[in-house]
A and B are shown apart, each in its own frame.
Chain A
């Protein structure tokens, strides 16, 4: 199924659930309600509908659909709008005072005179009376709170209020439906439904994509003439019916809304995911599972929120059972592993949205893909307490660990690889992590784990018969003394040499890691002879002290054991993968060292 078709299906589900407004209506944040008498006078001060918490958020409610208002000519919405249109007043940004917007007010009046003039509905007549008699200059005499400025306003008739707003009156809805039909363009085949229907000229703005304009950006748009063909204009280039474009826009906006459980951020891509199950409850549960799996544990970089971790563990256990093909009843989830599942990654690009990836899968496949991913990342000692969210991986590639420094496109490519266990992790991920290691010299567990994951998956894809299930996957999980790969061995050797230096000289200003790590991992033949010479000096320092004499012997044994597996001539140059193996070898050897103290190791060396 295509992206738009799947979103449109999701909209149908939301509509059935009552969670989305019907065609022609949109959910908008409304601040105040003006309650009118039949003669158009206000029966009371404006009624504040906003939430009660500190930020006073406007209340979302379905109103006749808003539309984009490009250009300078003001165009009013139907039966609601912000105060610039309704009252002709707004806040002046520069001075903070009140500014008049006569043209906006005129547009609002004109629109409603034209639309409501024929109607004899008392509510709609009251609105017309109000508009005819309203004078913006008298605003300060009303004694209203200036909070009302720049908020969205709706109307109600005093005798109906509370209970019904003006736009909910049957006559108003009837007029609105007629307006919608009148503005419809020529019929064309809809690319989503295949039906003949009026095509949308402008597609809905999608809000909530990280980095895009806050007013929203378009998924389907033709904002420059190089994008059009056959002399077609705007939406004519991609005939999608008004109803379908409304449907996909509403669904996507709901998925991406603030605080939605159906979105995660991966690099520069905002990821929306949803399930398509026959039962709404089952789909909701599937989405909750996936949400917890994609963004397990912490909300930001804070590592220790126990409740979240426990929650994630529960979810992961359930997903793992699912992934192992356990019967649904026993998996403690009421979700069918065959539930269809959609994942859409969007990123902004110049007022438009671009699709970074689009995956249609089943919950079972999704679970098994995640299991592969997590097993690829497995490292001993572990880099994370649980399973990391994807964003945590991407931070390891970013300069100064800032989200805005994550390389663009990487998030989408990583996500694609996570969702498809037969796809290599992006090479840019490996190179970016290695580059960070060279630049700041910090070989963190998380970085080593990413490098390890990259290598493990690469090896698995190159020789699939050796690695059939994640459980058999043992490549580079913990220190492998048998591994003869020169890069891995040299990584280990480097860790031992660093350790020797530390034992001999203590903490020095610039250790061999600070000075040579980058060069040693890229051009070993140029660096290692130098390092080995230096370590002879360090060893002789150790030998001279009686308390470290045995330690020196143990170190020599270690160096000897590692060097045994190496060819006599050192490689001149290591490619990216080998630099990765170097890092993993270094990490393993170093954590081996830190797991037992060197003294104990020294004694052991003596006993061996």
Chain B
């Protein structure tokens, strides 16, 4: 992989919500590829490139804890947003969190530490000025300086992730034996936005892609999107 990067990410809490338990949230056991991609994109992303996560190294034991939080019960209706756009003012566009409250429990991860191994590919939106070396340099410079477009997070904005560019060898994991090799079940790889890998246009035709996640020696290998391991 000529343009591979390693990013070490750490945090106190993380919640990579499983789709089947997303109301009373239960986290996946480890960082998911799509969450890892989000972290990379927070550091550097342009339409010209698309990030592909290759491997995720899990360095600390998997620990869970439960909390309860107040969240809202409803979404802002699209019609109201359109109405506001037409009217040119937002007086009617609001939700009252205190009157629309839902208490939800979450089982989330504590004290996480991962190394993301990833590379990027150029998309067809790359212009004549874009070349891999340039984006590689930008990423390395930004990651080393701790710069990001928005604070990267572990699945939810309340759980910020700190990151550092990792150039050395991957340190040994401290997982107990029963966690180092583990079947994690079907994990979300990413959303398929109508076959556009770099796409961000979300609608009801988007299809989730899943793969069979396995921890082997503390490493989660992420299959290629096009490979037969991925199902939708």
Contact = CB atoms under 8 A, between A and B. Distances in A.
A238 interface: yes
Interface string A515-553: 000000000000000000000000000000000000000
A230 B18 contact: no
Interface string A403-441: 000001100110010001011000000000000000000
A150 B89 CA distance: 56
Interface of A: 1-5, 189, 191-192, 194, 219-227, 230-232, 237-240, 347, 349-350, 352-358, 361-362, 365, 408-409, 412-413, 416, 420, 422-423
Among B23, B68, B73, B206, the most chain A Cβ lie within 10 Å of the Cβ of: B23
Interface stretch (B41-49, B58-66, B139-147): B58-66
Interface stretch (B2-10, B100-108, B114-122): B100-108
A440 B191 CA distance: 56
B68 A358 contact: no
Contacts of A416: 64-65
A61 B9 CA distance: 54
B199 interface: no
B21 A355 contact: yes
Contacts of A422: 61, 176
B194 to A, nearest CB: 12
Among B61, B104, B184, the most chain A Cβ lie within 10 Å of the Cβ of: B104
Given A189-B232, A232-B204, A409-B68, A224 B24 contact: no
Interface string B64-104: 11111001111100000000000000000000000000111
Contacts of B210: 189, 191, 194
B186 interface: yes
A191 B20 contact: yes
Contacts of B26: 3, 355, 358
Nearest to A359: B64
Given A1-B183, A353-B24, A409-B67, 13 more contacts: A192-B186, A220-B20, A226-B74, A226-B75, A230-B206, A231-B203, A238-B21, A347-B105, A354-B104, A362-B178, A412-B66, A413-B65, A416-B64
Interface in B11-53: 18-24, 26
Contacts of A237: 19, 22
A350 B61 CA distance: 32
A422 B62 CA distance: 12
A352 B64 contact: no
A268 B103 CA distance: 16
Given A409-B68, A416-B65, A350 B102 contact: yes
Given A1-B185, A349-B104, A238 B20 contact: yes
Contact of B24 (A189, A231, A349): A349
Contacts of B206: 230
A225 B75 contact: yes
B125 interface: no
Given A189-B231, A224-B102, A361-B178, A355 B24 contact: yes
Contacts of A232: 204
A354 B107 contact: yes
25 contacts: A3-B21, A4-B20, A189-B186, A189-B232, A192-B186, A219-B21, A220-B20, A220-B23, A224-B73, A226-B74, A227-B23, A230-B204, A232-B204, A240-B20, A349-B104, A349-B105, A354-B24, A354-B104, A354-B105, A356-B105, A357-B64, A358-B64, A358-B107, A362-B178, A409-B105
